[in-house]
Structure 1
């Protein structure tokens, strides 16, 4: 019997080559999977304007050109960004010369490269890094020829493309802030879909306040697919107004199989938020707003501008996206391509007052989503936390979630905390938020207790009015306290910290450390790194997998041991904390 030969470990050069190839393959699968044409520009030097350079890859959809720079660099990254920013700036200033260079290099791609007039081509420089880039707000201004695609964003696009194929294109366009009129050939500004016989409900029928109106109508799956978007929690947006879960690929497949087999529409409503620029055409062909149109009006038309990413899906994303365009010639795609146009879905749309701000709209939408799904499949814990944050951004769990996100960006917990369903980070955070961190950061601690809010010197009055600037400021204060504290723990217990098998970075241990920090506030207040470093110096504790003595129900018990052995607080006082 032949023995399996042991594989030789990869050399650093081989590992580097493999990692580069994996990143390039991931990028190509995303953009080609979304329907872009791939131009293999790598290893082709070009002279454009005053610079000589090469582009790692180019992806084209109609007049949208994505110039991609991919990197796995972790050193001198700022110099690399600056160089690419200057190169892409030179391209944008010399587009005709750039197009001619490409035409000479790739004569077989003439039909794609010269399909549009120069003035119609829209060029985007994408800087795609395998590792998280630590960028300040000023960097986005300084390097404004680049759009940075962070690792989580790239993984999000990968997930969406795998789930809904070519129909993921609009998600990429939304990331690029593109409107329908900017893509392909110019279209008429009056390009709208007219929906006959919508039902406009009186407010007393719905119970909704704040001048929100409700409209029901039938809409083709194709139009809805092309015009909708979803506020998914795990996407690229820097916004707290995101609450939806990721598309489930298995669920999409089951619905798609049902569509192919049955060829029938769904009878339960899709719930959406309609854009502000809808209008109604009454019987005399006069345009009216929803306020001006009669209740339960049957003799009118709903006018919806055909704009991508304009209808926000509150509930029913899987039923919509199961109609996706696959780009294949399979029997199933042939069937569903017909059904996309033929089948109409029952849609109930919320019409918000134009003056209502985004946060209030999101709060109402998330509550509707939660009400609908509370009796269906259990809503994931991280989605529930996000909905709670939208409802009340200064609630203790909401603030704790802010703090987790800040801790994950830099310092001892950088990229260790799982803040997204797409993360491969090792530390899950829902239990940290619910059972430990919320009590450290709360605005309203229990009687006799204290929290970091007492030690924050910021504008508490503005904070309590949910002013986002001061919420962010307080969250940063809390994160900085925790960075000092856990930096001292890491320094003095570095062997365990660097051991992937130890329990020091388990939720049990982290919660114990945080609860101890909270409980000792009444005795020591908030201190600096040097103080915590001195306290943990010389502390001996077994965090090995075999030797760690505590279970998930013993956070407080572990914290008491820290208070006694590290902070040297007498047992009789610990019992009161």
Structure 2
């Protein structure tokens, strides 16, 4: 008699929360994969989520990507508590970093089996191993320092590269390699040929130093260079990128401008006649036809020269002309035509070479100032740009200090943490310009009328601006951020948590420029009235804040709101509420 079939228990359907979590994980993973695929990396499908034991530690990688001799072992997480997850990975990272080549030898075989994708062109010692940790949520600097074997690809960086690869396609490869820490001299065929030329030469001319009117030792050259050679070296200090935000100022590259220039190139098949402005690496040499170095301090007329530029990723800074350069990007429509032009045409470039003793911050300030000079008369030289550049070249201005305070509040742990738009693609955050100009500047200005400045006790208080004492400036910024943070934390503690958001899907959200500037204005008046900036005291004062009619004040009425807030909660004739 046949046995009766036992019905298998039905698989429990995932909850809406579980489905949302899985969708988030899939999207995060997909976006990273799209970035690496766009610049030519091959994903080793069989190595994904494959558990292995190495050096006594068992682990896995979510993905493995390979481009020539670069192997990226990627880990993804969407968890809110990153610390525990990252520290588990550290054990495997530590084992790998003891001998990268040995681990590559292990990874070629089962269970990872990357040999087929990696091939035998490069020896294990020529492979560059990248341990990449990709978190959807912010990883604190302290934790990054503890997990020091890994490179962290924060989600803001993922979004930046995703946008960049959609704009300039495969030509984003050099910048991604620079982010990964891969030097040109050890990438691909250069890893195989120790005698490969470390530089390329371009014909041009050199200007006498005294004609340039730049500081002593700065050299100015003009030369022609193929777009392909410039693209492989170029970098742009975009505020949306992966570098330290304090040194960035240029806007994100715009797709519609690239398309317009690219159409011109396809239709006309000729370059634009105006020149590109760049800075050149310190290893650049200026020589004559006999390869003798030209001393620009001793020449008195412009003369022909050969400009010998090192072959290094991210070494030529584009100050003006990024769209004209990147219009030659690799990939996309009309690549058959553009590909030829990329190698055959020549762009006219004016390059500035720094003296050897110029520091990186000095270089950044110089580039930012020159960029502002070039763009100051154009319509795109908006307040956002001016504030960003002044933050670099005029750090003691009230606007610059206000912007530094805003960055400190945004990057900290307080009530305004992560609430401001810092990137081109951050459409949901608070706009920085109006908060800096109308809210923070009057509050933090480093002069006698400045409400916070009046309360700041520091030995260098009266001289730090005139003497340009940077250490004291940073102390003042820390002081301002801490005081403003206390005020906003006390206000937030009295308000509904769901309304403390910048999300436009919340109709009665409280984090708008009007409300933030209104609260800052109320703080300014409270300081003038002698109110103590102490959390418990402020929280008592803010009793009833949840019933305040924020919504009745329009965008231009933040000053009216600030006065109403002050009179309601801080006026001297008002007793503290309980």
The TM-score normalised by the length of structure 1 is: 0.89
Q: Which structure 2 residues correspond to residues 351-500 of structure 1 after superposition, within 5 A?
A: 351-409=353-411, 410-446=413-449, 450-452=451-453, 454-457=455-458, 459-460=460-461, 461=463, 465-494=467-496, 497-498=499-500, 500=506
Q: Secondary structure at the match of 2:396?
A: coil
SS of equivalent to 2:303: coil
CA distance in 2, matches of 1:106, 1:142: 27
Give the drift of 1:105: 4.4
Q: Where do 1:334-345 residues align within 5 Å?
A: 334-345=336-347
Query: Counterparts of 2:283 and 2:557 in 1: how far apart (Å)?
Result: 55
8 Å contact 1:44–1:55 — kept in the other structure? Answer: yes
CA distance in 1, matches of 2:98, 2:322: 41
Q: Which residue is 2:116 aligned to?
A: 110
Partner of residue 5, structure 2: none
CA distance in 1 between partners of 2:309 and 2:176 (Å):
22
Which piece of structure 1 moves more, 402-411 or 280-289?
Answer: 280-289
Once the two structures are overlaid, the 10-residue window that deviates more, 512-521 or 280-289, is 280-289
Q: How does 1:50-89 map to 2 (within 5 A)?
A: 50-75=56-81, 77-89=82-94
Equivalent-residue separation in structure 2 for 1:193 and 1:115 (angstroms): 26
1:306 matched to 2:303: no
Matches of 2:444 and 2:336, distance apart in 1:
55
Residues 436, 9 of structure 1: CA spacing in aligned structure 2 closer, same or farther, 3 A cutoff? farther
- Superposed displacement of residue 307, structure 1: 1.6
**Which residue, 267, 277, 287 being the options, matches 2:273?**
267
Return the offset for 1:89: 2.1
User: Shift of residue 391 of structure 1?
Assistant: 1.8
Distance in 2, Cα, partners of 1:157 & 1:379:
25
Residues 160 and 241, structure 2, Cα contact 8 Å, conserved in 1: yes
Counterpart of 1:169 in structure 2 is 173
* Deviation (angstroms), 1:162: 1.1
Q: CA deviation at 1:56?
A: 0.3
Q: Provide Cα deviations, 1:536-572, integer angstroms capped at 9, x if missing partner.
A: 013464446xxx222233222221112211002359x
CA contact (8 A) 1:418 1:426 kept: yes
**Structure 1 residue 434, shift from structure 2 partner:** 0.4
Q: Give the corresponding residue for 1:3.
A: none
Counterpart residue number, 1:4: none
Q: Which whole-Å deviations, capped at 9, do the CAs of 1:111-146 have from their partners, x for residues lacking one?
A: 52543111111111111111112232xx33321111
User: In 1, distance between residues paired with 2:290 and 2:105?
Assistant: 51
Aligned partner of 1:182 among 158, 162, 186: 186
User: C-alpha separation between the residues in 2 aligned to 1:46 and 1:172?
Assistant: 28
Correspondent of 1:23 among 25, 28, 35: 28
Quick one: structure 1 residues 293 and 174, their matched pair in 2 at CA, closer, same or farther if it must change by over 3 Å?
A: farther
Corresponding residue for residue 191 of structure 1: 198
Contact 1:272/1:349 (8 A) holds in 2: yes
In structure 2, relative to structure 1, the CA distance for the partners of 1:114 and 1:293 (3 Å cut) is: farther
Cα offset, 1:29, TM superposition? 0.3
Gaps of 5+ in 2: 1-12
> 1:239–1:453: structure 2 CA closer, same or farther, 3 Å change rule?
farther
The aligned residue for residue 217 of structure 1 is 223
Which whole-Å CA distance do the structure 1 matches of 2:233 and 2:557 have between them? 50
Offset at residue 377 of structure 1 (A): 4.0
Matched, 1:92 2:86: no
Q: How far is the alpha carbon of 1:424 from its aligned partner?
A: 3.8
Report how many aligned residue pairs link the two structures: 551
Q: Which residue does the alignment assign to 1:563?
A: 566
1:320-376 CA distance string (max 9 Å, x none): 1111111x6x6x111111101110001011122222233333233222222322343
In structure 1, the partner of 2:350 is 348
Distance 1:202 1:285, change over 3 A: closer
Any idea what SS the aligned residue of 2:451 has?
Answer: coil
SS across alignment from 2:85: helix
Alignment of 1:507-546 (within 5 A): 507-524=513-530, 526-539=532-545, 541-543=547-549
**Is 1:39–2:40 an aligned residue pair?**
no
For residues 289 and 27 of structure 1, the distance between their equivalents in structure 2, rounded to whole angstroms, comes to 48
**d(CA) in 2 for partners of 1:156 and 1:305?**
27
Tell me the secondary structure at the aligned position of residue 490 of structure 2: helix
Question: Structure 1 stretches of 5 or more lacking a match?
Answer: 1-7, 572-577
- The 10-residue stretch of structure 1 (419-428 or 260-269) with the greater mean CA deviation from structure 2: 419-428
2:8 match: none
Name the CA shift for 1:39/1:397 in 2 (closer, same or farther; >3 Å). same
Q: Is the 8 A contact 1:496 1:543 kept in 2?
A: no
**Which one is further off, 212-221 or 527-536?**
212-221
Task: Give the match's secondary structure for 1:110.
Answer: helix
Question: In structure 2, how many angstroms separate the alpha carbons of the residues matched to 1:444 and 1:497?
Answer: 35
8 Å contact kept, 2:51–2:60: yes
CA offset digits 1:398-419 (Å, max 9, x no partner): 1111121221222112222112
CA contact (8 A) 2:206 2:303 kept: yes
Return 187-196 or 106-115, whichever deviates more: 106-115
Instruction: Indicate if the aligned counterparts of 1:42 and 1:55 stay in contact, CA closer than 8 A.
Output: yes
| Structure 1 residue 248 displacement after superposition | 0.6
Residue 160 of structure 1, aligned match among 156, 161, 164: 164
SS at match of 2:529: helix
Q: Structure 1 CA distance, aligned partners of 2:519 and 2:117?
A: 63
Alignment correspondent of 1:248: 254
What does the per-residue CA deviation read over 1:279-302, in whole Å, with 9 as the maximum and x for residues that have no partner?
A: 12224432345435563112x322
Q: Give the equivalent residue in structure 2 for 1:14.
A: 19
Report the Cα offset of residue 90 of structure 1.
Answer: 1.6
Q: Which residue is equivalent to 1:5?
A: none
